[in-house]
Chains A and B, each alone.
Chain A
Amino acid sequence: MTASPDILEELLRPPSGDSAIDRKALAGLLIEIAQSLKPELRGQQNGVHPGDLQLEQLRTLLVGREIETLSRLTGVVDDPERLAAAIGRVLPTAIAQATSDARMGHVLAPVMEKAAESSIRNDPSTLVNILYPTIVPAIRKSIGETIDETFQRLNQALKYSLTWRGLKWRWEAWRTGQPFAEVVLKHTLIYQVEHAFLVHRHTGLLIAHVAAENAVSQDPQLVSSMLVAIQDFVRDSFSGADHQGVDSVQLGELRLWSEPGPFALLVAVIRGDPPEGLHDTMRNTLSRIHAERHHALESFDGSSEGLGDVEARLRELVALGEHAPPRAKLGRVILLGFLLLLSISAVAWAAWWWHNQQLWEAYLERLRAQPGIVIGEAGKRGGKFFLSGLRDPLAVDPLKLLGDAGIDPARVETHFEPYQALDPQSVLRRLKVTLAPPPSVTLAIEGDRIVAKGSAPRAWLDRANAVAQMLPAGAPAFDFAGVINKDEADEQQWRAYVERLRAEPGIVITRSEAGDGKFFLSGLRDPLAVDPLKLLGDAGIDPARVETHFEPYQALDPQFVLKRLQASLNPPPGVTFAIEGDRIVAKGSASSPWIARARRAGSLLPAGAPVFDLSAVRNLNEGVLGKLSDAIEARSIHFDSGASLPAAGQEKTLDELAVDLNELAALSSKLHVVTRVTLTGHSDSQGQGTSNLYLSVARAEAVRALLKKRGVDPDLLQVRGAGPLEPLEAETSPAARLANRRVSFSIGFEEAP
């Protein structure tokens, strides 16, 4: 590679042809040799021609193989591909041999730089792929450590930010200008690098070891090998990646931090809590050692020669540490002080114990005097007082008394079973809770009885009665006879009212109650009976205090039956009802429809009701009115065929009709009967149907007008036309037709409205 181009050219230049061989001289030489072999040839002419073929043969004989080799070589050298293949075969070996020459590196460096540059320009990813496996773990580790350090600072800063020490450190930070977190770290991270091992990575042999003065360890040579063995073990077993060993191990207070270098491993054994920044320090130390003793480390074969001053570097590392501030140098003083403190506290504790015991006894005494509390067991257990027994739920709370006694309730355990005390005080307490007596009632113990006095409403008295009966046997008696019933007056009024209501017909009382100042009333009431609420006013009871509930029913009392009949039948003025014994008798006169209705009503009366006697009522239709109406209905007015006015000769009939009708009207109004007279016009069957119908109506109208002329009230008369539809006789003859051409009269009575 170092050959310059002209040397190559010189090598490769083709032979300059036959001209290089001095054929003439060669021929002369050969003749001379021949002559010396055969002197007789001397006389002969120099017969050898420079162009003689024999000469050429001779040359081939002498240097034929060399010529062949040379031409082969020339062939190789001439052909660039073959030349490249030939050089390629030897190039690695050549470079390997040239590596020992320092110039090799200088020569290759620019080429390599150029190559790398162009490679990156072509495709940067190639270089990235090459560097990735080495750079990324390094970056990751570095970032990880930075984060750890940040967290460590943050944690410590937070932990101490508000304590007294923290304030002191803040002052220090402010004074020295250091960040607070660093001051905190300085004071809190107490650690000591106890050992530093420099271990040869390849063999695991110890290169150097320095221990702190107070540190003890096993044989460092063995330890270093074991460290490497364990790192190998972890790497082989778990990690897989080549350059990821164990870089941190924590065993209790001890930490092992290891930093790998190219040839040596720096392991620090640290006691305590080192700052993450120590990693950096270790890395710096290691790289310094590598820089200073690169060759010695590289060629390390178990001998530490030439590595003596490495220990000095390690010693710098071991000197590192942050010690806890000396507490008190005079350990004995501390001990004495401690003992003194101990004895003082022992005496204090004894005094305190005695005092507590006194308080406890006093407390128990007081508790025993409490009604509703029975103490079963009391004593001390596990540094605490305990107390158990029975306690009426209404008795005083033992824990509350503790405060009064000056004992901390947290030091007392109590266990009380609930029970019902029967001593008068406890019973009185329970009665007060359960009965809640009104302010007007006082409860007091008198001898072995509990006596209530004052006044109370009825409801309270009822409750007191119930409670008094429920008191367990052996309890003091409860006497509330001395309590006046506040509701007595009200109750009397109520009773009087209910009595009065019971006397009312048509009212049945099924339930009446008084309680809590209110009254309840329920039962049956005939709608025609008196309203119970109206009677309240008379009785002097506030209706707001009364609740009533009455179901309606039909009373069978004769008076109610009479009332109901009067209401439903609405008898005309000429009829009166009266009770006679167990019968209701109607008297007077009425129209036959009313009589029929009254009879129906009488027959519908329920069993057990009084009999409704209508026998004394006279039927109007059967009297004068009846005769008159019969007389009127018997008459009719006749017409000539097709005529709407009456045929001649009927004035007399009309006059008589007018007299009868007027008399009928007068009688009707006297008897309070409404009478209706209907004039019905008829035609014979001859002629058109519709004209016959008109004709019949016209005939009835004509008669009405004639009767009006004769003084009959036209309102009394109604008109209708029947056409040929209601013939009097079958029209078999002119006489029958004449009979059918008529106006007939019908009379109806109605009850007055």
Chain B
Amino acid sequence: MTAVLQKKICMLGGFSVGKTSLVQRYVHSVFSETYLTTVGVKIDKKTVTLPDRTVNLILWDLAGEDDINSLRMTNLRGAAGCVLVADGTRPSTLDVALSLRQRVEAEYGPLPFVLLLNKSDLKEQWAISDADVAGVRENGWWVQTSSARTGEGVEDAFMDLAVRTAG
């Protein structure tokens, strides 16, 4: 345990963007969903093996809030990186994700972020244009479409974060 590296990663996103179900299948989880509704945070672990070392990403899954002011900022204290999740079928959630990021950076300075545009399996309802995605990406963002159903993008996102935070 002492040989591995740990990093605190926060998962943020608007209400019902599927952030919890997104990671459910890919993380080590011991706490139930009720923590999210009671304590407002649920902690999971994702172990990423890099060529030279193993990184344990301690994932702080923060309760989905559309009202970014009610985000409990203490939970973000000491975070090494963030996973922002937006719902690809609801463009408003992208705005929420972007403003969440702004709020976090205002408080804790620049952090490695990855943005997951979730529910990529719902192609016909997809509402975020490629242009929007390109725009975000041009700002130096790591953007990835993802799907809780297919698992698309999830592992990549964590791998990216592991590399960026452990570097």
Contacts and interface: CB of A to CB of B under 8 A. Distances in A.
Main secondary structure of the interface of B (DSSP, over half): mixed
Nearest to A205: B6
B39 to A, nearest CB: 5
A305 B79 CA distance: 19
B30 interface: yes
Given A219-B30, A226-B35, A305 B2 contact: yes
Contacts of B12: none
Given A205-B6, A229-B39, A307-B2, A236 B80 contact: no
A218 B30 contact: yes
Interface string B63-82: 00000000010110111100
Nearest to B30: A218
Contacts of B43: 222, 225-226, 229
Given A302-B7, A305-B2, A204 B72 contact: no
A209 B40 CA distance: 25
Given A202-B77, A205-B78, A221 B72 contact: no
Contacts of A301: 80
A720 B83 CA distance: 156
A209 B56 CA distance: 15
A206 interface: yes
Contacts of B30: 218-219, 222-223
Interface in A232-261: 232-233, 235-236
A114 B30 CA distance: 56
A308 interface: yes
Best-surrounded residue of A208, A220, A225, A305 (most CB of chain B within 10 A): A225
Interface in B37-67: 39-41, 43-45, 56, 58, 60
A235 B74 CA distance: 10
Interface residues of A, number: 30
A232 B6 contact: no
Main secondary structure of the interface of A (DSSP, over half): mixed
Best-surrounded residue of B2, B28, B40, B74 (most CB of chain A within 10 A): B2
Interface in A186-204: 200, 202-204
Interface magnitude class on chain B = 20 to 34
B101 interface: no
B131 interface: no
Nearest to A223: B30
A204 B43 CA distance: 11
B1 interface: yes
A204 B40 contact: no
Nearest to A233: B39
Interface string B1-24: 111011110000000000000000
Nearest to B7: A302
Interface string A456-473: 000000000000000000
Nearest to B38: A233
18 contacts: A202-B78, A203-B77, A203-B79, A204-B58, A220-B1, A221-B1, A221-B6, A222-B28, A222-B45, A223-B30, A226-B35, A229-B43, A230-B39, A232-B74, A232-B75, A301-B80, A303-B6, A311-B2
10 closest Cβ contacts across the A-B interface? A203-B78, A304-B2, A302-B6, A202-B78, A218-B30, A225-B43, A229-B41, A203-B8, A232-B74, A205-B6
